[in-house]
Each structure stands twice: as structure tokens, then as C-alpha cells.
Chains A and B, each alone.
Chain A
Amino acid sequence: MRTKATLTAAAVALALGAAGAALAADMAGVIQARQTHYKAIGAASKGIYDELNKPTPQASVIQGYAHQLDTLAPQIPSWFPVGSGPEAGVKTKAKAEIWSQPAAFKTAADSFAVAAHHFAATAAGGDIGAIRAEYPTLTKACGSCHTQFRAKAPG
């Protein structure tokens, strides 16, 4: 009986361990996908910056990047499932505060989505002056979330 109980316990532990490993692998995938998305956002931001600093910026180029941002921004909260923070054991700059202060995180993410949507509308208008004037508002919306919820340490 004793042996059987031990075996059962071992089997349960193994199963749990396997489930844990599977979960960790999932989280690594989640974090990797999240980083790919954020790099796309960074690249779009640089694209807009570079275009605005050309002698004759093309609104159509900026519209393309603005559309990308407008598509990605509302998805942000879905990139942060519980367990995909520093505890996942994978290199991530996502701070634990994202999950300990979910309301503040949602507010910050939502305000970026609003800013991205507004910027896309301005870009669609095609007025380079207006686009240039609004770009800092957009990047400030990125930054407000990053200062609170992104760690500085390289990762």
C-alpha cells in the first residue's frame, strides 16, 4: 500500500511537473510573441519619425505605420496573460506591477490605444503639419505606460 501511495504521488508530481514545464514553454512563447509585437510598434514609431524628418514627408508612408499602430494598440492587454511576467523565468522587462495594478495598467494601455487611433485619423487627413504636431502626443502615450510598467534593466 505504502509503495502504491508513493508511486501515485510520484506520478502526480511528474504530471504536475510536465504541466508546469508545458506552461512555462507556453509563457516563453507568449513573451516572445509580445516582444515581436512591441518591436513592430517601435519600428513603426521610428518609421514615422524618419519620414517626418525627411525634406518632403509623404503622408501615405505615415498612414501605413499609423494603421499598424492603430491595429496593434488595442491588442496590448491581451499580450499580458497572468503568468507571463518576471515569474515566467524568461527574460522580460514586463514588471510585476502590470498584474498587481491591473486597473492602472488597463488605463495606460487604453490611453495608448486612444492616442494611436487619433493619430491614425490625423494621418489619414494627410496634413503633415498636423501629423508632426501630434507625434509627441502619441509617443508620450507610449512612454506613460513604459515608465510605470517596463523595467529598465536589459532583457
Chain B
Amino acid sequence: MLFAALWWTGETEQLDLHRDAGFILLGMVIFRLIWGVVGGSTARFSDFLHGPRAIGAYATDLIRGRIDRSVIGHNPLGGWSVAAMLALLAAELTLGLFTVDIDGDQPGPLARLISYDQGRTVAQWHQWVFNGLLALIGLHLAAIAFHAVVKRDNLIGPMLTGAKRHAGDAAPMRPAPMWRLAVAVLVSAAIVWLIVRG
């Protein structure tokens, strides 16, 4: 929803709202990066980022139509899809901090470190990376739809609740303690505050 809001406010040049929404999303992305290290089992990068062999095996299974619902968390292809989206999102937000609008009166909070022309170039990149993000998000959503329709596997419920009815004997998701959540949120907010304040 925040992403849609950023799209809308960017297109319609409501830059003050765009900036505030960007700060919130920046905090969320920083949180997700921290959570990928200290969070619940299925949230960790080590859980869903696998080497080429696992990806190959999964892709083969996928093509042969073998269904394996005993796994929880992102599958090997979906995991890298998440990583790619996170990386592009982080790049997009970083570029946004340096972006200068065409009128030069509502620049990003770190744009004072660069010139108007450089800031305009960054704005161009900000646009390109956004198109890349749209493509990756579209791909991710298409994969989710594929799972829902062809493989009859609802992925959205488990994403929201963390609970999944699984047929196999896979270990259930181990949530992280609440204090870690609180610390991660506070650290993310502090980093954003430092950046915004300049």
C-alpha cells in the first residue's frame, strides 16, 4: 500500500507526501534487513537463500510438476526473488534520498551533497530502478498466482499469520522473541531519523 502511495505521489508530483512515505518505507526496509539476520526462522536470509544446486533441483521439480507442500518459507526461486526485490527497493530508496526534482525546490534530504545536474541524473535512475521494481513485483505476484491456481497452494495466508497447514513433517516456523522485534524497530527508526536529519 505504501508502495502504491509512493507511485501515486511520485507520478502526481506531490513531493512532500512522497518524501514522508519514502521515509516510512526506508524504515521498513532497514527493519527487514535486520530481521533477515535476527528474525523468525522463515524470515532469515539463511533460510531462504540457497545455492545453485538447490535452485536447480527446485526448478526441475517445478517443471516435472512435482508438488511439495511440506516446505515452509520461501522456496529457492522465491527466496532470490525476495532478495532481488529488497535489493532494488533499498537502491531505489537510497537514490530517492539524493534525487532533485525538476524545479529544484523539493530535493531529497541528502541532495545538498550533490549538484542540481547530478541530482537530476539520480532522478533519472530513480525512475529506471522503479520500472525494474515494478517488473520484479509483477513477477513475484504472478508466481503467487501460479501457486494458488495451478499448485492449489495458498501462500498469502501463511505470509500474514506465519501459520501454515503443512502435510509433511517440516519443522514449523520458529518465531523470534518480542524483544528482538522491539529492538529492530527502534534501530530502524533511529537510522531513518539520522538520515532525515542529515
Q: Using a CB–CB distance below 8 Å, which chain A residues touch chain B?
A: 39, 41-47, 49-50, 53, 135, 139, 142-143, 146, 152, 154
Least CB distance from B157 to A in Å reads: 40
Report yes or no: B105 in contact with A142, Cβ–Cβ below 8 A: yes
Report yes or no: B117 in contact with A154, Cβ–Cβ below 8 A: no
Kindly name the residue among A50, A135, A146, A154 whose own CB sees the greatest number of chain B CB atoms within 10 A. Answer: A50
Q: List 6 A-B contacts (CB under 8 A).
A: A42-B100, A43-B116, A44-B104, A46-B119, A50-B107, A50-B111
B115 is an interface residue with CB less than 8 A from chain A: yes
- The 10 A-B residue pairs with the shortest CB-CB distance in the complex, in nearest-first order: A46-B104, A43-B116, A42-B104, A45-B104, A139-B105, A50-B112, A46-B116, A45-B105, A142-B103, A42-B116
B75 is an interface residue with CB less than 8 A from chain A: no
Contact of B117 among A41, A43, A45 (CB under 8 A): A43
Which chain B residues (51-73) contact chain A, with CB distance < 8 Å? none
Q: Using a CB–CB distance below 8 Å, which chain B residues touch chain A?
A: 11, 13, 100, 102-107, 111-112, 115-117, 119-120, 127, 198
Least CB distance from A25 to B in Å reads: 25
Task: Tell me, in angstroms, the Cα distance from A140 to B42 when the chains sit together.
Answer: 49
Least CB distance from B122 to A in Å reads: 12
Task: Tell me, in angstroms, the Cα distance from A50 to B13 when the chains sit together.
Answer: 20
Task: Tell me, in angstroms, the Cα distance from A18 to B67 when the chains sit together.
Answer: 69
Report yes or no: A46 in contact with B127, Cβ–Cβ below 8 A: no
Q: Taking A50-B112, A53-B112 as contacts, is the C-beta distance between A39 and B117 under 8 angstroms?
A: yes
Query: Which residues of B lie under 8 Å from residue A41 when comparing CB positions?
Result: 104
Give the nearest-CB partner of A93 in chain B. Answer: B102
Query: Which residues of A lie under 8 Å from residue B198 when comparing CB positions?
Result: 53
Least CB distance from A113 to B in Å reads: 16
Report yes or no: B116 in contact with A49, Cβ–Cβ below 8 A: no
Query: Which residues of B lie under 8 Å from residue A143 when comparing CB positions?
Result: 103
Task: Tell me, in angstroms, the Cα distance from A143 to B105 when the chains sit together.
Answer: 10
Contact of A43 among B11, B104, B112, B127 (CB under 8 A): B104
Least CB distance from A65 to B in Å reads: 10
Least CB distance from A12 to B in Å reads: 43
Query: Which residues of B lie under 8 Å from residue A39 when comparing CB positions?
Result: 116-117, 120
Task: Tell me, in angstroms, the Cα distance from A147 to B30 when the chains sit together.
Answer: 35
| A42-B116, A154-B127 given; 5 more Cβ-contact pairs under 8 Å | A46-B111, A139-B105, A142-B103, A143-B103, A152-B13
Query: Which residues of B lie under 8 Å from residue A146 when comparing CB positions?
Result: 103
Task: Tell me, in angstroms, the Cα distance from A142 to B104 when the chains sit together.
Answer: 10
Give the nearest-CB partner of B109 in chain A. Answer: A53
Q: Taking A49-B107, A154-B127 as contacts, is the C-beta distance between A42 and B102 under 8 angstroms?
A: yes
Query: Which residues of B lie under 8 Å from residue A46 when comparing CB positions?
Result: 100, 104-105, 107, 111, 116, 119
Give the nearest-CB partner of A147 in chain B. Answer: B13
Task: Tell me, in angstroms, the Cα distance from A154 to B103 when the chains sit together.
Answer: 14
Least CB distance from A123 to B in Å reads: 15
Kindly name the residue among A39, A42, A53, A152 whose own CB sees the greatest number of chain B CB atoms within 10 A. Answer: A42
Task: Tell me, in angstroms, the Cα distance from A53 to B197 when the chains sit together.
Answer: 11
